[in-house]
A and B are shown apart, each in its own frame.
Chain A
Amino acid sequence: MSEERAGGGLIIFGTFIIGLVLSQIPMPDMLIWARPAWVVLVLIYWVMALPHRIGVGSAFLLGLVMDLVRGSVLGLNALSMTIIAFLVLILYKRMRMFPLWQQSSLILVLIGINQLLFHWMQGITGTTSDSLLFLLPAAISALVWPWLFLLLRSVRRVFRIA
């Protein structure tokens, strides 16, 4: 049992790393706004699937790493991702029952909250923005969610992570 857990931990860690890399890979200028919030999506999946293992603590650490990678003020991503993980911990029983499209619309709201929190705090700490384009990733994330969900679920089943 303990061995299986450690292995599963590595797989989960791997998916987070892939998410981080995807969130950093350079994109053409046209698509710069259309990048899904990969790390938050992966986080939401794991909190939803394994709420007893991945919770606000992991979200906080992941947010710190995200802050370091993005070069934003230390704690910004940590704060917004902790809040998102907490919301998912409240919602996960309902989310598991939802069909995929309904999950997607919830993802739209969750990622929207994440983006709003992040840019609201970024505004307070100095980097200003006046366009609403930063909400676009929420819509794109909602479109990506069904595929990501199916992919991660098959990963979880193949490696029997529980």
Chain B
Amino acid sequence: MSAVSSQNRRSVIKTIFRGGAPRALFVVLILFAVLLIISDLNWSKMREGRAWMSLVVTPLQWLVDLPSRAADNLSGVLVSRTTLLSDNERLRTEALQLERKVQQNASLMAENIRLRELLDAGQRVDEPVRLVELIGVNPDPFQHEVIINHGSEDNVYDGQPVLDAGGVMGQVVSLSHYTARVMLITDARAAIPVEVNRNGFRAIALGKGVLGELELEHVPDTADVREGDLLVTSGLGGRFPRGYPVGTVSEVVRDPGQQFVQVRAQPSARLDKSRHLLLVGDKPRLKEIPAEVASE
């Protein structure tokens, strides 16, 4: 009994008198953190180390996703019979319409191949597609990123394009073993080469860091871009395959005082709502950027 109380007293005394912040440790840690920041920014080998370290937080990401997954399951169980029936009906008509479109598609594809053969152009290859699920969203409002449940162990690669049912969502920017981070096209760092579907005019769509808004950069005053135009990926740059919808032009501002036209577009993918995403391709399209392109 007396031993316990003396121990308690000792710990109290320690708490009171072991004051003074550990300056040396503080300085060392600060220097270490700065070193980490600099090496993470400038040294590409850090990416691998980061992938290993991210393994530690993978369970945490699953944990974060748990409530919403449970809610999904629950709403799946608690759905009423009439809603199921009407859903079924709607999906059946939708499937029928899609099948009709695919029938046309087959003949169009055959025609396309014939014409391409006539022109001696290369064949277009159908890209393999994989369904993945979203397990997290970056809470930082400045970074439009989502986390998916596939990683380098599932052959996801850096720069892999990600779509949803509506169009292009973004690309994989950082990999761990069982998860990957996808930067959305609206992120302030994102840019994607597009063309206007109507006339093939090419431009680059930049993310603005605002959800639901893209901006076309350096569009000359004379360019034929109108409100409502569909923008599709142009396939230039080698990251995104050609022909997937990116967005529709929502606003064209022609100011005679400005050098370029301001063109805003709205992404066609449901960036903040889709839970099931599609990973396109199974290997990097461009192994290495040619030196003369990279240097420019």
Interface size on B, residues (CB 8 A): 48
Bound complex: CA of A127 vs CA of B29, how far in Å? 24
Render A65-101 as a binary contact track against B, CB cut-off 8 A, 1 for contact.
1001111111110110011001001100100000000
**When the two chains form their complex, are residues B142 and A21 in contact, meaning their CB atoms are under 8 A apart?**
no
Asked if A70 contacts B138 (CB within 8 A), the reply is yes
A154 close to B (CB within 8 Å): no
Query: Is B37 touching A125 in the complex (CB atoms < 8 A)?
Result: yes
Residues of B within 8 A of A122 (CB): 142
Question: Are B139 and A23 closer than 8 Å at their CB atoms?
Answer: yes
- Cα–Cα distance between A75 and B42 once the two chains are bound (Å): 13
Take A89-B21, A127-B188 as given contacts and tell me if A68 and B41 are in contact as well, using a CB distance cutoff of 8 Å. Answer: no
- Which residue of B25, B50, B54, B143 contacts A127 across the interface (Cβ within 8 Å)? B143
CB-based A-B contact count at 8 angstroms: 120
Which chain B residue shows the least CB distance to A65? Answer: B57
Rounded to whole Å, the gap between the CB of B138 and the closest CB of chain A is 6
B85 at interface, CB cutoff 8 A: no
Q: Which residues of A contact B21 (CB under 8 A)?
A: 55-56, 86, 89-90
- Of B11, B46, B181, the contact of A71 (CB 8 Å cutoff): B181
The prevalent SS among residues of B at the interface is helix
Whether the Cβ atoms of A52 and B137 lie closer than 8 Å is no
A17 adjacent to B60 (CB under 8 Å): yes
Q: How far is the CB of B34 from chain A (nearest CB, A)?
A: 7
Point out the residues of chain B lying under 8 angstroms from A29, CB to CB: 211, 272
Instruction: Check B68 against A26 for contact (C-beta < 8 Å).
Output: yes
B64 at the interface (CB under 8 A from A): yes
Please classify how large the interface on chain A is, using the bins under 10, 10 to 19, 20 to 34, 35 or more. 35 or more
Within 8 Å CB of B57, what residues of A?
65, 68-69
CA–CA, A80 to B21, complex, Å?
Answer: 16
Contact with A along B8-40 (1 / 0, CB 8 A): 000100110011011001100110111111001
Taken together as a complex, chains A and B put the C-alpha atoms of A147 and B142 apart, in Å, by: 29
Does B76 sit within 8 A of A, measured CB to CB? no
Contact B53 A68 (CB under 8 A): yes
Contact pattern, B 86-127, Cβ under 8 Å of A = 1, otherwise 0: 000000000000000000000000000000000000000000
Contacts of B22 in A (CB 8 A): 55-56, 89
The contact of B25 among A50, A57, A74, A119, by CB within 8 Å, is A57
- Whether B139 lies near A68 (C-beta < 8 A) is no
> In the complex, what residue of chain B is closest to A129 when comparing beta carbons?
B142
Residues of the A chain whose Cβ atoms lie less than 8 Å from the Cβ of B64? 21, 24-25
A74 near B37: Cβ-Cβ < 8 Å: yes
Q: If the complex has contacts A29-B211, A72-B140, A82-B26, are A126 and B189 also in contact, measured as CB distance less than 8 A? A: yes
The answer to whether A102 has its CB under 8 Å from any CB of chain B is: no
Q: Which residue of the partner chain, among A26, A73, A79, contacts B139 with CB atoms under 8 Å?
A: A26
Given contacts A68-B50, A71-B181, contact A24 B61 (CB under 8 A): yes
Q: Does A159 contact B (CB under 8 A)?
A: no
How far apart are B186's CB and chain A's nearest CB, in angstroms?
13
Chain A minimum-CB-distance residue to B7 = A1
Query: Do the beta carbons of B138 and A75 come within 8 Å of each other?
Result: no
Interface contacts beyond A55-B25, A125-B37, A126-B189: sample of 6 additional A-B pairs, CB < 8 Å, sorted by A? A20-B60, A33-B141, A65-B57, A74-B46, A75-B36, A78-B29
A-B contact pairs, 28 of them (CB 8 A): A1-B7, A17-B60, A24-B136, A24-B139, A25-B64, A26-B139, A27-B139, A29-B272, A52-B15, A57-B25, A68-B57, A69-B60, A71-B145, A71-B174, A72-B143, A73-B40, A75-B40, A78-B29, A82-B29, A82-B30, A83-B30, A89-B22, A90-B21, A122-B142, A125-B37, A127-B189, A133-B141, A134-B141
Q: Which residues of B contact A (CB under 8 A)?
A: 7, 11, 14-15, 18-19, 21-22, 25-26, 29-30, 32-37, 40-41, 46, 50, 53-54, 56-57, 60-61, 63-64, 67-68, 136-143, 145, 174, 181, 188-189, 209, 211, 272
